[in-house]
């Protein structure tokens, strides 16, 4: 997969050089390309923002540099899904990340200031939010989207590693422990030390269900509905 990012802060994308994103790149599963939005400015001051029509606070990212930038990027990433990072977009979920991981390419646009000229929406296939809170710019959201997607591209993680993470089966993950078996009076549940794989599997499933029921009743309800639908299939 080819991932292009259009931003006024290309230098902040250092996490792309670490961990799974580095691994994905080194394994040839993904390539990253950072583009400075200012390079597509139409004036000598490399200006990419302007005051909002109608007055009011803040500055707005202009549409011309973004259109020019995406048109240039398209020459290298012709099938890339164009995504605008915005708190007004669809909430990113594991399911959306998995769908994006199947795409041949992504083109991410990072907003800033008060936001982005509304006409940029026409250029986008998708508008994504990473949560109901406001960040200063679209750089961190773009990195969150990239991380969530890249680890799901086949070949990046060891086989099966992502399949049992939280959300994959509609449940949160179960509690996990490592050595020592006892720490400051806190003991690891006996079953995990028993060597009985079937009992461990069963314990983990029950823990995942219970944890989801308590912490995320919204997810648990969906999980129950899905389970019921599967059980009533002819």
Residues annotated catalytic, as ranges: 87, 114, 151, 165
Cis peptide before 59 (omega within 30 of 0): no
| CA 26 distance to own-chain centroid | 20
- Shortest Å distance, C-beta 98 to ligand SAM: 19
Strand order in the sheet with 49-50: 49-50, 60-61, 115-116
With CB under 6 A as the contact rule, the residue among 17, 43, 47, 88 that binds ligand SAM is 88
CB distance 84 to 142 below 8 Å: no
The nearer residue to ligand SAM, 8 or 156, going by C-beta atoms, is 8
The nearer residue to ligand SAM, 117 or 223, going by C-beta atoms, is 117
Establish if 112 lies at the interface with ligand SAM (CB under 6 A).
yes
- Shortest Å distance, C-beta 162 to ligand SAM: 23
Gap between the Cα atoms of 21 and 137, Å rounded: 21
The nearer residue to ligand SAM, 120 or 157, going by C-beta atoms, is 120
Locate tokens 């902040």: which residue? 12
With CB under 6 A as the contact rule, the residue among 7, 85, 207, 212 that binds ligand SAM is 85
- Shortest Å distance, C-beta 82 to ligand SAM: 14
CB distance 85 to 141 below 8 Å: yes
CB distance 191 to 200 below 8 Å: yes
The nearer residue to ligand SAM, 69 or 115, going by C-beta atoms, is 115
Establish if 62 lies at the interface with ligand SAM (CB under 6 A).
no
Under rule CB under 6 A, which residues in 122-161 are in contact with ligand SAM?
A: 129-131, 133-138, 141
CB distance 77 to 107 below 8 Å: yes
The nearer residue to ligand SAM, 113 or 167, going by C-beta atoms, is 113
Tokens of 137: 């710019």
- Shortest Å distance, C-beta 99 to ligand SAM: 18
CB distance 149 to 156 below 8 Å: no
Backbone phi, psi, residue 5, to 5°: -130, 130
Establish if 86 lies at the interface with ligand SAM (CB under 6 A).
yes
With CB under 6 A as the contact rule, the residue among 39, 64, 72, 114 that binds ligand SAM is 114
Among the candidate windows 15-23, 33-41, 82-90, 176-184, which touches ligand SAM by CB under 6 A? 82-90
Which residues here bind ligand SAM, judged by CB under 6 A?
85-88, 110-112, 114-116, 129-131, 133-138, 141
């Amino acid at each position: 997969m080819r991932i292009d990012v259009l931003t006024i802060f290309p230098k902040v994308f250092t996490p792309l050089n670490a961990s799974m994103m580095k691994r994905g790149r080194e394994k040839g599963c993904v390539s990253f390309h950072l583009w400075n939005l200012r390079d597509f400015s139409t004036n000598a001051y490399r200006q990419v923002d302007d005051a909002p029509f109608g007055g009011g606070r803040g500055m707005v990212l202009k549409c011309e540099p973004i259109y020019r930038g995406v048109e240039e990027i398209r020459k290298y990433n012709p099938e890339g899904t164009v995504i605008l990072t915005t708190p007004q977009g669809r909430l990113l979920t594991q399911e959306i990340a998995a769908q994006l991981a199947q795409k041949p390419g992504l083109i991410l646009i990072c907003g800033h200031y008060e936001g982005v000229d509304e006409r940029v929406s026409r250029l986008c296939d998708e508008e994504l939010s990473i949560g109901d809170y406001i960040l200063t710019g679209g750089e961190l959201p773009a990195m969150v989207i990239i991380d969530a997607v890249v680890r799901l591209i086949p070949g990046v993680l060891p086989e099966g590693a992502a399949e049992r993470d939280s959300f994959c089966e509609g449940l949160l993950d179960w509690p996990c422990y490592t050595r020592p078996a006892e720490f400051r009076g806190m003991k690891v549940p006996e079953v995990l030390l028993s060597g009985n794989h079937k009992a461990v599997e069963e314990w983990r499933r029950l823990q995942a269900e219970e944890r989801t029921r308590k912490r995320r009743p919204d997810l648990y309800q969906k999980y129950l509905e899905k389970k019921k639908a599967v059980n009533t299939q002819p």
